[in-house]
Amino acid sequence: MPEQTLKKAGFMTESTSLTSSFPIDVRAYPDRQAMGRAAAAAIAEDLRARLARQSRVRMVFAAAPSQAEMLEALVAEPGIDWQRIRAFHMDEYIGLDAQAPQRFGLWLQRHLFDRLPFGAVRIIDPGNDPSSAALAYAAELAAEPIDVVCLGIGVNGHLAFNDPPVADLADAQDVKIVELDGACRRQQVDDGCFAQLDQVPSHALTLTLPRLLRSDRMYCVVPGAAKREAVRRSLRDPIGTACPATALRLHPRVVLFLDPDSAP
C-alpha cells in the first residue's frame, strides 16, 4: 500500500511509515478475568482523565464474547460520569431480525448500554437500506472526534468486520457494507453466537480501518488460544490487509491486553 495513499486516508502523518510503525503496548495477564479487570481499569482511568479536561467523550465498542470480562469490570468502575459519554459500536449484521439476540447492538445493550447511564447510545440499524444506514452512521461518527475505541482481533486478523478480502488501509468510506469471509463466519459459530454456519449472515455493516484508526486511543482486548496466531501476526507480519490487525501498528496509542492462551 503506497504511503501517500495512507496519508490521504487521514491516519498516517509525514513522520510515520510502513517500515517505522509505532510500537504496541502489549500487556499479558495470568488469566482471562485478570486481563479483563486490567483493561477496564486502564480504560476507566483514561475516561476519568478525559472527563476532567473536556465536556464529553465519544467511544466505540466492539460486541463479542472476547470483550465480556472487560465490559463486566468496566461497569463496576467508580467515578465515571457516564452521562457525558456518547457510545457507538463498530459493526452489525445485515439481514437479522431486529430482535435477534445475535445482533451486536442488542449484545452490547445487555452487557453494557442498559447497565450504565450513557448520555447517548447510537446503535447501527441496517434496516431495509443498509447503504443509507452506513452513510447516516458515518455522518454521526464524523460530527466530532472519536476519543476511545475498545476492540478485539478476529481469528483471521480482522478488526471490526474488515476481513482480509475486504479490508482497505486507504478506504474512502467510514462505514460500509462488507461480505464476511468463511473464517469470520466460522468464528461466530465457534464463539457460540450461532448454532451452525448457515445461520450466520453473509453480509454486515462495519466501520472501516481508517475510521477506527482516526480515534485518539485504542484498547484491544484479545483472549483465547484461537486468537494466538492472529496476535502473533498482528505484531510481527508486514503491515497490510493479509492480516488487517497489523494496521494497529500505524496508530501511536494502542494497548493490547492478552491472557496466557492468546499471548504468543
pLDDT digits (tens, 9 = 90+) for 226-242: 999 999 999 999 999 99
Mean pLDDT on 125-133: 96
pLDDT digits (tens, 9 = 90+) for 9-21: 444 433 334 444 8
pLDDT at position 150 is 98
Q: Is the pLDDT of residue 43 over 90?
A: yes
Cβ-based neighbour number of residue 52 at 10 Å:
8
Cα–Cα distance measured from residue 213 to residue 96, given in angstroms and rounded to the nearest whole number = 28
pLDDT at position 19 is 43
> What does the block give as the cell for 194?
450461532
Q: Is the pLDDT of residue 185 over 80?
A: yes
> 3-class SS at 253?
coil
Mean pLDDT on 138-165: 97
pLDDT at position 198 is 82
Q: Is the pLDDT of residue 45 over 90?
A: yes
Cα–Cα distance measured from residue 109 to residue 99, given in angstroms and rounded to the nearest whole number = 12
- The reported pTM is 0.90
Residue-wise burial string across 12-30, b where 16 or more C-beta atoms lie within 10 A, e elsewhere: beeebebeebeebebeebe
- Which band of pLDDT confidence, cut at 50, 70 and 90, is reported for residue 63? very high
pLDDT at position 9 is 40
- Which band of pLDDT confidence, cut at 50, 70 and 90, is reported for residue 194? confident
pLDDT at position 141 is 98
Q: Which residues pair with 220 in a beta bridge?
A: 151, 256
Residue 177: name the closest of 139, 145, 129, 106 by CA: 129
Question: Percent of the chain scored above 70 by pLDDT?
Answer: 92
* Residues composing the chain: 264
Q: Mean pLDDT over all residues of the chain? A: 91
